[in-house]
Amino acid sequence: MAASGPFPLLSPSPLCPCRTLLSSSSSSSSCSSSKFLIFARTSSKLIPPIAAFRRSRSVSLRLVPSITCAATPDGHAGMADGAKRVSKSENLVVSDDQKQGNQLRKRVVFGLGIGVCAGAVVFVGGWVFTVAVAAVVFVAAREYFELVRSRGIAAGMTPPPRYVSRACSVICALMPILTLYLGHMDVSVTSSAFVVAIALLLQRGSPRFAQLSSAMFGLFYCGYLPCFWIKLRCGLEVPALNTKIGNDWPILLGGRIHWTVGLVVTLISISSIIAADTFAFIGGRAFGRTPLTNISPKKTLEGAFAGLSGCILISVMLSKILCWPTSLLSATAFGILNFVGSLFGDLIESMIKRDAGVKDSGTLIPGHGGILDRMDSYVFTGALSYSFVKTLLPLFGV
């Protein structure tokens, strides 16, 4: 073919099945091929026509690995779409950062509010502390049985009927009250387990062992273990004579008698758990590299070490202020015990949530999830702290 106009004919490339004729008289030209390459030879004969074509059409020829051949009047549409995609991705990144910032602010604000309220309840003690624990236990038990009934867990087992789950939640809430009233929890736990077992055996259809095991673990996990906090705070009523802060405590708030061993132990234990969670979170975000376990991928060895250090530090500091325990070895051992209880309590709840296929046990607390998400570190720690005071200190004097 002969060239027409002042521009020479560019021979078609084997990569592009269409032929393109570049001329100054043509208004627009397009190629129906989806992908092709445009190669411009750098010979002296082709450079002037290409320069003229650039001036006439106000477009630039670029070497592109893969492009749709459409030389339409809005030739910059592809570039505009790419810019829009980049802008959209940047907006998504900014949006994710804003969401994380809002989540962190909610977590801090509600965490401080919960801490202040919990501290006031612990100081008051007695029936106020017991009723507060019973309310928390009731909500935690409801969340636990909802996890058991979730699709992830229920797909491999038969969950308890709803009326049994609700009855177990009520029984778990009554256990702390009965512990304070009776002074022990043996009768309440055994009686409750017997009643739940009968209810499961007399249900319609075929009773399953999975129903019994999940219900019994719910009574133990959500009802029996939290009762140790009642025994720890309200059962150890021996005055903390070495705690000098009690000498200046106002009479209207209980005076010297209000500062018991139970109050001192509960304050140190709860403060140590809070320190363990806080230091583990900060240390994991700053230095976390090595995963701790597959159960909770976000937990790292570096974060666990930071949590252990913070737990021991707060335990030793408060032991010096409150004069209990009296030795550095005792305070260190108590801090290690609290850390172990909080860590494995958190991992057990993470295992339940992983099998259930959910991130949080509930949505009651903004930024934190459910009650069980916040109380998981305290479930086993109360029993360990009570055993430390009643068994380890008298036997070994640590």
- The whole-number pLDDT of residue 89 equals 56
Partners of 260 in the beta sheet?
A: 239
- The whole-number pLDDT of residue 6 equals 44
Among 325, 350, 349, which Cα is nearest to 337's? 325
Peptide bond into 207 cis (omega under 30): no
Among 112, 92, 95, 96, which Cα is nearest to 368's? 112
Q: What percent of the chain has pLDDT over 70?
A: 74
- Range of 104-108, 296-300, 314-318 with top mean pLDDT: 314-318
CB 347 within 8 A of CB 355: no
**Angle CA 347–278–245, to nearest 5:** 115
Among 286, 349, 275, which Cα is nearest to 311's? 275
Q: Residues 340-369: what's their mean pLDDT? A: 89
- The whole-number pLDDT of residue 28 equals 41
CB 168 within 8 A of CB 145: yes
Is residue 128 very low, low, confident or very high in pLDDT (cuts 50, 70, 90)?
very high
- The whole-number pLDDT of residue 144 equals 95
Structure tokens at 286: 């700053």
Q: Is 208 exposed, middle or buried (0-12, 13-18, 19+ CB in 10 A)?
A: middle
- The whole-number pLDDT of residue 303 equals 95
- Range of 103-107, 109-113, 251-255, 348-352 with top mean pLDDT: 348-352
CA distances from 128 to 34, 48, 177 (A): 74, 92, 11
Q: How far apart are CA 295 and CA 67, in angstroms?
A: 46
Res 3 pLDDT > 60: no
Q: What percent of the chain has pLDDT over 90?
A: 46
Q: Residues 321-337: what's their mean pLDDT? A: 92
Element (H, E) at 30: strand 29-30
Structure tokens at 138: 């009731």
Element (H, E) at 153: helix 151-154
Res 354 pLDDT > 60: yes
Q: pLDDT averaged over the chain? A: 79
> How is 280-340 classified by DSSP, letter by letter?
HHHHHHHH--SB--SSSTT-BHHHHHHHHHHHHHHHHHHHHHHT-SSSHHHHHHHHHHHHH
- The whole-number pLDDT of residue 105 equals 79
Tens of pLDDT, residues 28-76 = 443 344 333 333 344 444 444 444 444 444 434 343 444 444 444 454 5
CB 152 within 8 A of CB 99: no
Is residue 218 very low, low, confident or very high in pLDDT (cuts 50, 70, 90)?
very high
* More reliable by pLDDT, 393 or 8: 393
Res 9 pLDDT > 50: no
In 53-95 the beta strands, taken as DSSP E runs, fall at 70-71
Q: How far apart are CA 321 and CA 259, in angstroms?
A: 13
What DSSP designation does 14 have?
A: T
Res 116 pLDDT > 80: yes
Domain ranges of the chain: 7-17+33-70, 118-235, 237-398
Is residue 83 very low, low, confident or very high in pLDDT (cuts 50, 70, 90)?
low
- The whole-number pLDDT of residue 49 equals 45
3-state secondary structure of 385: helix
- The whole-number pLDDT of residue 93 equals 53
* More reliable by pLDDT, 192 or 58: 192
Res 193 pLDDT > 70: yes
- The whole-number pLDDT of residue 77 equals 53
Tens of pLDDT, residues 261-314 = 999 999 999 999 999 999 999 999 999 999 999 888 889 999 999 999 999 999
- The whole-number pLDDT of residue 396 equals 74
Q: Considering the entire predicted model, what is its pTM?
A: 0.74
Strands 29-30 and 70-71: antiparallel
Q: How far apart are CA 363 and CA 343, in angstroms?
A: 22
Partners of 102 in the beta sheet?
A: none
Ranges 185-194, 338-347, 360-369, 383-392: which has the least confidence: 360-369
* More reliable by pLDDT, 58 or 352: 352
Note every long-range contact of 348-354, with CB atoms under 8 Å and residues 24 or more positions apart, other chains counting: 348/221, 348/376, 348/379, 348/380, 349/373, 349/376, 349/379, 350/295, 350/296, 350/376, 351/295, 352/144, 352/147, 352/153, 353/147, 354/295
